[in-house]
């Protein structure tokens, strides 16, 4: 769809609909995010509960193992057997005493799963271990117990210690107590399997739990039916050295929490959307009342005036900006009505081409006959000069035929003209020097080519010369007025005219023009350097891809005559097209994307300085 087919109302409605859709999507996303955040907070809280329950389970295990260890450590038989362990038969007697709890049981036997009992001397060297229980344990005290005992000194070594550690057979829990009371003779280690006590965590939290190894292998699995709609909460039970020992998964019923969150989300999201849609509808009504309706009236009146009904006027009813715009348009239309007669006398009386140039030989005006004859577009005229259109030195011809102090002078000469496509043709022309834009200028009238069936007599040629001389006088009399009006308030040209007064996009003061020309050439050179070095493309590619600079065909060879002028200070127009230079630099920067290079930085700096200069601000350092 072309943008011209869209109305301001349609664009505004689409923007409001987009805002409404975005608000709805964001509300739903925010609701989902808040729900997830609430569940994560609940999970973190429940994880802490499982952690507390796990520590409580270990505390209970520690109590049972401590009781067993203290009874054995204070047994006179165990103490004597330890001291006589190196005597013949002493070690066998000690092993028998250590096997007794496995055979005859002990107080609290139902609360722990006893795996091994081991005895160490004061240097923590193994002395004996029970023949009953698990086999294949390392022949030394677990590292966590060794490190903790090494950190103690004095009476601290008389206290019992415990640790959860990882053995080749899996996680085990050990309690180490001194043997012999105050006169320590060695140490007794009670080793149990904590898996037996892990279900106590579920009893404490009153939730179903599953126990897994750190790598995910199940040890104890909860009933799937009882945990179908529950939230799984994971907690890693660490060993004493920090390594993971068990993965405890608790299942919490969060149905009440979900119900509360659904109610809260429905109220908050619904209220937000109602307020958003209400505000948008009210804003749309305000836009329609104070923007769409006045613009619609103004567009209708302007279309009627553009259709030729210049006696009408644009409705001024509306906000201050619309009233000022309507007033300005009505004033401009009145100027159009007053000057239409002047323009009709100057344009298109016949097929003759009228071209006007300023003192720097830059084109400032083409009539429709000139546009048709030479084949240039209206926006290309400002970049042309006499050398682009005529093979002869027109200014030199005038200087040879006229006195320097003459206010105006005219000659008739056959000129060799150059079309846009590079083809050449000869046409008799009336050349005249005149005043234009407050200074001197030049006007050229190329006579219309006679038709094949037209016979030119001497009287007809004389009459044509007189008529063209009178027409050139009218051009001289009216051109200054038209250009002066165009400088203050641009004249609205009829589309049929093909072109109108042309000039620089921004009128710079006389002292600033050389600086603007120099900076314009600098920006163009930097842009071309980036284009050729960083993108590896040619100058012709720049003109064709950007569509900013015209491409001419000279003898079947594409050229960039206009672009070439902006690459040399000697050929750059006196009033360069600043916006065209800025658009070229921005196009090259856009094509570079995120590439970084010294040439890009230089182009960006040159463009920034050029913008400041065009706006009337001298760049820093000038």
Question: DSSP for 555-585?
Answer: TTEEE-HHHHHTT-TTTS-SS--HHHHHHHH
The stretches in the chain having pLDDT less than 50 are: 437, 456, 482-508, 510
Residues facing residue 139 across a β-bridge: none
Residue 499: its pLDDT value, please?
A: 38
Residue with tokens 């009933």: 223
- Which pLDDT does position 285 carry in this prediction? 86
Token pair for 56: 């409580």
Question: What is the per-residue pLDDT for 488?
Answer: 39
How many Å apart are CA 224 and CA 208, to the nearest integer? 10
pLDDT tens, residue by residue, 137-172: 888 899 898 888 888 887 777 888 999 999 988 999
97 in Cβ contact with 46 (< 8 Å): no
On average, the pLDDT of the chain sits at: 80
C-alpha–C-alpha distance, residues 222 and 250, integer Å: 9
Fold of 13-253: Beta-Lactamase (3.30.450)
* Torsion on CA atoms 184, 185, 190, 191, rounded to nearest 10: 120
Residue 485 is predicted with a pLDDT of 41
- Give the integer Cα–Cα distance in Å for 245 and 211: 11
Percent of the chain topping pLDDT 70: 83
Instruction: Write phi, then psi, for 105 (nearest 5 degrees).
Output: 80, 180
What pLDDT does residue 502 have? 41
Helix (H), strand (E) at residue 329:
helix 320-346
Nearest C-alpha neighbor of 505 from the set 609, 603, 610: 610
Residue 149, C-beta contacts closer than 8 angstroms, at least 6 positions apart: 124, 141, 157, 161, 176, 187
Tell me which H or E stretch contains 462. helix 458-488
**Does residue 583 contact residue 565 with C-beta atoms inside 8 Å?**
no
Q: What's the pLDDT at 188?
A: 92
Q: Which CATH number fits domain 349-497: 3.30.450.20, 1.10.1760.20, 3.20.20.60, 3.20.20.450?
A: 3.30.450.20
Question: How far is 110 from 605, CA to CA, in rounded Å?
Answer: 84
Q: Where does the chain hold its CATH 3.30.450.20 domain(s)? A: 13-253, 349-497
Q: 250: which strand partners?
A: 209, 233
Strands (E), 112-183: 114-120, 126-129, 161-167, 170-179
Residue pair 276/268 in contact by the 8 Å Cβ criterion: no
| Angle formed at CA 362 by CA 356 and CA 366, multiple of 5 degrees | 35
């Amino acid at each position: 769809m072309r943008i011209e087919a869209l109305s301001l109302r349609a664009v505004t409605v689409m923007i409001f609909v987009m805002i409404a859709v975005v608000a709805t999507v964001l509300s739903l996303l925010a609701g989902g995010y808040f729900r997830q955040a609430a569940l994560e907070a609940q999970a973190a809280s429940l994880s802490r509960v499982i952690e507390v329950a796990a520590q409580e389970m270990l505390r209970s295990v520690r109590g049972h193992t401590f009781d067993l260890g203290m009874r054995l450590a204070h047994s006179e038989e165990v103490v004597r057997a330890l001291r006589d362990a190196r005597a013949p038969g002493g070690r066998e007697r000690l092993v028998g005493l250590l096997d007794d709890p496995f055979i005859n049981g002990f107080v609290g036997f139902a609360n722990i799963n006893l795996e091994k009992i081991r005895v160490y001397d004061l240097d923590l060297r193994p002395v004996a271990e029970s023949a009953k229980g698990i086999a294949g344990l390392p022949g030394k005290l677990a590292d966590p117990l060794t490190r903790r005992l090494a950190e103690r000194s004095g009476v601290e070594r008389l206290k019992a210690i415990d640790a959860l550690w990882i053995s080749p057979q899996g996680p085990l829990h050990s309690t180490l107590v001194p043997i012999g009371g105050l006169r320590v003779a060695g140490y007794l280690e009670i080793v149990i399997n904590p898996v037996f006590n892990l279900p106590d965590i579920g009893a404490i939290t009153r939730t179903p739990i599953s126990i897994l190894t750190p790598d995910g292998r199940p040890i104890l699995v909860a009933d799937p039916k009882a945990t179908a709609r529950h939230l799984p909460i994971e907690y890693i039970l660490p060993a004493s050295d920090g390594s993971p020992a068990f993965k405890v998964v608790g299942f919490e019923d969060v149905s009440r929490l979900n119900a509360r969150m659904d109610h809260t989300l429905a109220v908050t999201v619904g209220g937000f959307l109602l307020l958003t849609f209400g505000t948008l509808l009210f804003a749309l009504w305000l836009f329609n009342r104070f923007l769409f309706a006045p613009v619609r009236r103004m567009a209708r009146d302007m279309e009627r005036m553009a259709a030729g009904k210049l006696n009408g006027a644009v409705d001024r009813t509306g906000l201050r900006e619309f009233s000022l715009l309507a007033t300005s348009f009505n004033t401009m239309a009145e100027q159009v009505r007053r000057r239409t007669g002047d323009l009709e006398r100057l344009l298109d009386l016949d097929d003759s081409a009228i071209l006007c140039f300023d003192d720097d030989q830059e084109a400032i005006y083409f009539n429709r006959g000139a546009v048709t004859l030479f084949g240039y577009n209206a926006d290309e005229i400002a970049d042309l000069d006499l050398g682009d259109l005529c093979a002869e030195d027109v200014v030199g011809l005038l200087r040879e035929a006229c006195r320097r102090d003459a206010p105006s002078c005219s000659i008739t000469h056959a000129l060799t003209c150059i079309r846009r496509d590079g083809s050449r043709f000869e046409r008799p022309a009336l050349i005249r020097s005149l005043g234009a834009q407050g200074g001197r200028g030049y006007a050229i009238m190329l006579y219309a080519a006679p038709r094949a069936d037209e016979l030119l007599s001497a009287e007809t040629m004389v009459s044509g010369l007189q008529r063209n001389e009178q027409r050139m006088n009218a051009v001289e009399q009216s051109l200054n007025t038209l250009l002066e009006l165009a400088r203050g308030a641009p004249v609205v040209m009829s589309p049929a005219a093909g072109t109108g007064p042309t000039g620089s996009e921004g009128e710079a003061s006389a002292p600033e023009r050389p600086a603007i020309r120099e900076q314009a050439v600098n920006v163009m050179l930097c842009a071309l350097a980036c284009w050729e070095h960083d993108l590896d493309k040619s100058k012709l590619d720049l003109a064709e891809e950007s569509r900013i600079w015209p491409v001419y065909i000279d003898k079947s060879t594409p050229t960039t005559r206009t672009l070439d002028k902006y690459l040399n200070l000697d050929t750059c127009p006196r009033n360069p097209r600043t916006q065209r230079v800025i658009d070229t630099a921005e196009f090259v920067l856009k094509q570079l994307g995120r590439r970084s290079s010294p040439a890009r930085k230089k182009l960006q700096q040159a463009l920034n300085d050029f913008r400041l200069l065009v706006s009337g601000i001298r760049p820093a350092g000038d």
